[in-house]
Amino acid sequence: MKSWTFLILTLISVLSFACGGSGEVLDAAVVDERITIQDIQDLGFQEIVASIYDYKSPYYDIEARNDPWDGKVVIDGIKQDVRILVFFTESLDDATREQIMVFSARNGNKVMIAKNVGILCEEIEVCEYLGDQLQ
């Protein structure tokens, strides 16, 4: 009996760690509705650099857990710089949205939020284009 209890507790711990240590198991329906970096790449996001490995990155000023990406997207034949923040939640709360706005204003960027993604661009039209495609 003790070995079954140990096995079950070990399995729960492993699942909890695999789901980000939050103690809750995410169901597939929620995960499927999130926008992923692959969805953004499918729209032409290229020359991607994952900024998450730079621990001095200003992306860490945003408290909500996210994967930051820097890259370019070609719109009407012109390469545009784009920063993408892919958050682990299904949608963003007001505090996170405010932190994204402050972060983008510091860098002179425009911002569009689509579901769980913050899109930061030099031109609002670029952000809107990507956001509209992701909605």
Q: Are residues 42 and 2 in the same domain?
A: no
In three-state form (DSSP H/G/I as H, E/B as E, the rest C), the secondary structure along 73-133 is EEECCEEEEEEEEEECCCCCCHHHHHHHHHHHHHCCCEEEEECCEEEEECCHHHHHHHHHH
> What pLDDT shows up at residue 16?
43
CA-atom Rg of the chain in angstroms? 18
Q: Are residues 101 and 38 in the same domain?
A: yes
Q: Are residues 100 and 66 in the same domain?
A: yes
Task: Quote the tokens at residue 36.
Answer: 């992923």
Residues of the chain with pLDDT under 70: 1-32, 50-61
Q: Are residues 61 and 78 in the same domain?
A: yes
Domain range enclosing 93: 34-134
Phi, psi of 19, deg, nearest 5: -95, 20
Q: For the chain, what is the domain count? A: 2
Q: Are residues 88 and 55 in the same domain?
A: yes
Report whether 64 contacts 46 (CB < 8 A). Answer: no
Q: Are residues 17 and 81 in the same domain?
A: no
Q: Are residues 4 and 68 in the same domain?
A: no
Q: Are residues 120 and 80 in the same domain?
A: yes
